[in-house]
Amino acid sequence: MRAFIVDAYGKDARLRAGDRPEPAVGDRDVLVRVEAAGVNPLDAKILAGEFRRILPYRTPFVLGNDVAGVVERVGPAVRRFRPGDRVYARPDEGRIGTFAELVAVDEADLARTPAGLTAEEAASLPLVALTAWQALVERADVRPGQKVLVHAGSGGLGSVAIQLAKHLGAHVATTASTANVDRVRDLGADQVIDYRTTDFETALSGFDVVLDSLGPDNLAKSLRVLRPGGLAISVAGPPDPAFARRLGKPLLRPVMAVLSWKVRRAARRLGVRYSFLFMRADGAQLQEITSLVEAGVLRPVVDRVFGFDDTPAALDLVGSGRARGKVVVSMAPVTRTPTSQTPTRGEQS
């Protein structure tokens, strides 16, 4: 099968187009013929080697963390899916590889595609929607009337998190560039901080939850806009010891304790909490998200669609930080030639 392959890690590493064997299909696996694949900052970080210590994929391997497609065949123990079903997923972190014609996904990680969505729209959702769900519903337990700050509101994660937080009844603030203020208001943001003109730390206070996707400096400021007992959840900050437990790698706990010591100490001094989130695959949660999409609560935000042959260019766009919403690669012919956009810092997460 055709695929885009990682031969080596590094900041200057590039994807290589090549042929790979079709994935093996286990008893509980579903073989999906890929129609479209979402492209995420996580893909760029994996290629650069940023997660090599905790996710040591052995080269060569196929990259890609989001998929929408059609069931090709199923393992003998699969009960919920059959050939021909339209499905989407974020495969388990140990079984990535959606930049390919076929990918095998555990039945437990898969859900049926929301009715009415194109494959490209469906492929834009799993990783960011599951991240938003696990941050706001599972970890923060957001309640009506609470105040939630979502950073980088026009990015892939931010655009979904705003909608979900609003659905949960929160007062939602977000940060965005001047060009994207109207865009994030349309998604449901009650308060928009234009980071080009205003420091959010001086404009906001008393928040219950912050969802950070921008990293250390932004995270440090985010702690200071929380109310006492508030929670900062970061997908870009340092991993904490709880993440080592989730990975089942107790030997990494001391390492992650050191990496996150500074931010955890700052949080304690302010009387707030810090939590690192690396989302996990979960087909049951994704089915809940399907229901919200079909009810009109959540809508995908797709910035650009690239043809499959242009997957490296799609990854370059995401890695540059210029994307607004999600970037997707499609197996279907794409007639519009991708063009560059004006850089928009920190809004592609």
How does the average pLDDT of the chain come out, rounded? 94
SS3 label, residue 87: strand
pLDDT tier, 248 (very low <50, low <70, confident <90, very high otherwise) = confident
Confidence of residue 323 (pLDDT cuts 50, 70, 90): confident
Tokens in use for 15? 């994807």
Distances from the Cα of 116 to the Cα of 86, 109, 303, angstroms: 11, 21, 18
Q: What is the pLDDT of residue 334?
A: 80
Contacts (Cβ under 8 Å, ≥6 apart) of 347:
152, 153, 154, 155, 158, 176, 177, 180, 321, 323, 324
Burial of 95 (0-12, 13-18, 19+ CB in 10 A): middle
pLDDT range class, residue 329, cuts 50, 70, 90: very high
Rounded percentage of the chain residues whose pLDDT exceeds 70: 96
Q: What is the DSSP letter of 137?
A: I
Q: Which residues, including other chains, have CB under 8 Å from residue 65's CB and lie 6 or more apart? A: 38, 40, 42, 43, 90, 91, 96, 98, 127
87 forms bridges with which residues in the sheet? 69, 112
Which of 50-59, 151-160, 332-341 has the largest mean confidence? 151-160
Pairing of strands 16-19, 302-307: unpaired
Q: Is the pLDDT of residue 341 over 70?
A: no
Q: Where are the alpha helices (DSSP H) in the chain?
A: 41-48, 119-123, 126-133, 156-167, 181-187, 200-203, 216-223, 241-247, 253-259, 261-270, 283-294, 311-320
Q: Which residues of 218-234 are buried (b: 16+ CB within 10 A; e: fewer)?
A: bbbbbbbbbeeebbbbb
Residue 149 scores a pLDDT above 80: yes
Q: Considering only the top CATH level, what class is 2-125+300-330?
A: alpha beta
Residues contacting residue 305 through CB under 8 Å, at least 6 positions apart: 36, 120, 327, 328, 329, 330, 334, 336
Can you tell me which residue has the tokens 């650069």? 48
pTM of the model: 0.94
Whether residue 25 contacts residue 31, with contact meaning beta carbons closer than 8 Å, is answered with yes
Residue ranges of the chain that CATH labels 3.90.180.10: 2-125+300-330
| 116 φψ region: left (φ > 0), alpha (ψ -120 to 50), beta (else) | left
In this prediction, residue 333 carries a pLDDT of: 87
How far apart are alpha carbons 48 and 8 in whole angstroms? 9
pLDDT in tens, 162-203: 999 999 999 999 999 999 999 999 999 999 999 999 999 999
CATH code that applies to domain 127-276: 3.40.50.720
Looking up tokens 């006492």 gives 228
The pair of structure tokens assigned to 67 is: 């998929």
**pLDDT tens readout for residues 284-302:** 999 999 999 999 999 999 9
| Number of residues assigned to the chain | 349
State phi, psi for 167 to the nearest 5 degrees.
-60, -35
345, pLDDT greater than 50: no
For the residues 63-79, what does the mean pLDDT come to? Answer: 98
Q: What is the pLDDT of residue 335?
A: 65
Q: What is the pLDDT of residues 16-31, one digit of tens each?
A: 999 999 999 999 999 9
| Residue 336: pLDDT over 90 | no
Question: DSSP letter string over 208-253?
Answer: EEEEE-S-HHHHHHHHTTEEEEEEEEESSS---HHHHHHHT-GGGH
Q: What pLDDT was estimated at residue 222?
A: 98
Q: Supply the pLDDT for residue 244.
A: 87
pLDDT at 179: 94
User: Can you say whether the dihedral through the CA atoms of 50, 338, 116, 157 is positive or negative?
Assistant: positive
Give the CA radius of gyration of the chain.
19
154: pLDDT strictly greater than 70: yes
Q: 327 vs 118, 243, 248, 304, CA distance in Å? A: 14, 28, 32, 5
Backbone angles phi, psi at 16, to 5 degrees: -115, 130
Residue 339's pLDDT is: 38
Residue 343 pLDDT grade (very low, low, confident, very high; cuts 50, 70, 90): very low
In the chain, CATH 3.40.50.720 covers 127-276
Q: Is 2 exposed, middle or buried (0-12, 13-18, 19+ CB in 10 A)?
A: middle
77-109 pLDDT per residue, tens: 999 999 999 999 999 999 999 999 999 999 999
